[in-house]
């Protein structure tokens, strides 16, 4: 429902963001702010919007109400639309009375309009009287009975319709607000939009919009249309219901429903990088014709071609999304990750971290992290001494000989000035051979001494980052626990 508010348009390369909020019954508090928050996280800034302004504002359709009425009245005057005074009860009666086996869901169309209460069936004086009395009414487009119309879609090519299957859509509602059909055409014209991109679910509305461009005399100024394929979930169109059922995000960032308080987790909070999120979305239904999958946003801008967008729906694959994020984490420099990792660690109570030390930790573990949130699980032991140990992994093969080895290793560490991973490993293995113990039997105990369990990067790399003093303290503490 949030995305009913957001319609991106293009004017010769400019990104125009318009808030299409004409359906007040579906108004969601906070939705507009949420949209801008998502765009900011993605690093996308509209050239024109309700926040940035522009020469074609206002950019909220709810603030353009009088503009739409002007064009709706013009359509009535020209005979391309009409006033309809039917009550909800009369509309329900129409659906009942005209229901047949061949037509189980009658619509307000060319076959019905002359049997209803509208300015096509009422005397002119009666229409004026009703309007003067402010009788609630709508304005409907007058769709021709049997006319073939078409347009060229940038993705789908030639698309044809017969108006005999199209009903007389409402253009102006009883509350004076326009429907999407009228508002989008008027705004695209007045804002000089050159390209409009929308989901394929809007294709059935195309005949009405084509007729409006024609009736208003703007056909030569009509933007190029591209109807994008849907993103498919496990059971059809991807939805919030899928997110709740299968445990993956479908929103860019966290969204809390203002009515129910229900939280829907977003990609950002799951631990995704904006660059990976955009990269993943761009390749849902598009590729550049090669096997390349990792693109920066600058590369996407350079390589993107609408001709390579698929017309069929693209299947959402959360595991693939995580793969993209993993690849982006591996590609980024330590300095590009530092701010996010600091924030994640602070949320877990780890703060006042030395930047140089943190950079060493990030460099060591980043290739092991799929999501940003993995950085805590992969690094917490660098900042906190283990409070407990996986003793079951050590005790079955623990003996006095191994205890003496680690006591000797502590003395070796104290005596050396060198402290690099390769040097630590070499000294460790030489000492093991001198004491006639296989090095492989000692590395697991060392790992558990340093991190508490059977996890983490290479053990000598861990020791190198921890430093001599911390390594000694952790071995000493663990020796007591192992006894």
Catalytic residues: 240
439-462 exposure pattern, b = at least 16 Cβ within 10 A, e = fewer: eeebbebbbbbbbbeeebbebbbb
At 56, is the secondary structure helix, strand, or coil? coil
List Cα–Cα distances, 35 to 19, 201, 230, 255, 268, in angstroms: 10, 21, 20, 10, 14
Is residue 41 within 8 Å of 252, Cβ to Cβ? yes
Q: Where are the beta strands (DSSP E) in 320-469?
A: none
Q: How many residues does the chain have?
A: 483
Half-sphere exposure of 352 (CA within 13 A, CB side): 1
Is residue 146 within 8 Å of 164, Cβ to Cβ? yes
d(CA 183, CA 173): 12
Q: What value, to the nearest 5°, has the Cα angle with vertex 6 and ends 273 and 227?
A: 90
d(CA 247, CA 234): 12
d(CA 178, CA 173): 6
**Pick from 13, 1, 10, 55: nearest CA to 198:** 10
182-213 exposure pattern, b = at least 16 Cβ within 10 A, e = fewer: bbbbbbbbebebbbbbbebeeeebbbbbbbbb
Task: List 155's β-bridge partners, or say none.
Answer: none
Is residue 368 within 8 Å of 378, Cβ to Cβ? yes
Residue 84 CB partners (closer than 8 Å, separation 6+) = 108, 116, 117, 118, 119, 137, 138, 139, 140, 168, 170
Q: How far apart are the first and last CA of the chain?
A: 61
Cis peptide before 380 (omega within 30 of 0): no
């Amino acid at each position: 429902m949030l995305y009913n508010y957001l319609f991106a348009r293009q004017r010769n390369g400019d990104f125009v963001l318009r808030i299409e909020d004409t359906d007040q019954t579906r108004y969601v508090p906070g939705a507009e702010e949420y949209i801008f928050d998502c765009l900011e996280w993605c690093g996308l800034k509209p050239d024109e919007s309700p926040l940035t302004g522009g020469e074609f504002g206002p950019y909220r359709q709810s603030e353009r109400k009088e503009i739409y009425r002007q064009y709706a009245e013009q359509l009535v005057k020209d005979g391309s639309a009409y006033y309809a005074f039917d009550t909800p009860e009369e509309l329900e009666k129409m659906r009942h009375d005209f229901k047949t086996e061949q037509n189980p869901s009658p619509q307000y169309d060319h076959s019905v309009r002359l049997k209803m209460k509208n300015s096509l069936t009422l005397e002119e004086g009666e229409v004026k009287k009703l309007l003067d009395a402010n009788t609630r009414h709508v304005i409907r487009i007058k769709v021709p009975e049997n006319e073939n119309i078409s347009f060229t879609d940038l993705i789908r090519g030639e698309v044809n319709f017969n108006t005999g299957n199209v009903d007389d859509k409402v253009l102006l509602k009883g509350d004076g607000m326009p429907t999407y059909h009228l508002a989008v055409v008027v705004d695209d014209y007045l804002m000089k939009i050159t390209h409009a991109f929308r989901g394929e679910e809007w294709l059935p509305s195309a005949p009405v919009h084509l007729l409006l461009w024609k009736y208003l005399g703007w056909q030569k100024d009509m933007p190029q249309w591209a109807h994008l394929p849907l993103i498919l979930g496990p059971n059809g169109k991807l939805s919030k219901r899928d997110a709740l059922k299968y445990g993956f995000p479908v929103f860019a960032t966290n969204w809390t429903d203002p009515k129910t308080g229900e939280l829907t987790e977003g990609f950002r909070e799951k631990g995704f990088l904006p660059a990976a999120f955009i990269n993943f979305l761009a390749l849902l239904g598009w590729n550049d014709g090669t096997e390349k999958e990792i693109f920066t946003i600058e590369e996407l801008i350079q390589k993107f071609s609408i001709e390579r967008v698929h017309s069929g729906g693209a299947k959402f694959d959360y595991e693939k999304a995580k793969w993209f994020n993993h690849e982006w984490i591996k590609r980024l420099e330590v300095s590009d990750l530092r701010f996010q990792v600091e924030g994640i660690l602070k949320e877990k109570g780890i703060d006042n971290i030395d930047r140089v030390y943190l950079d060493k930790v990030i460099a060591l573990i980043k290739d092991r992290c799929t999501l940003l949130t993995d950085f805590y699980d992969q690094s917490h032991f660098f900042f906190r001494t283990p409070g407990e140990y996986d003793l079951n992994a050590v005790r079955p093969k623990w003996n006095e000989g191994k205890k003496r080895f680690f006591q000797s290793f502590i003395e070796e560490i104290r005596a050396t000035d060198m402290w690099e991973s390769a040097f630590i490993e070499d000294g460790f293995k030489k000492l093991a051979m001198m004491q006639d113990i296989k090095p492989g039997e000692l590395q697991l105990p060392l790992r558990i001494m340093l991190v508490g369990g059977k996890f983490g990067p290479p053990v000598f790399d861990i020791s190198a980052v921890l430093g001599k003093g911390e390594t000694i303290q952790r071995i000493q503490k663990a020796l007591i626990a192992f006894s």
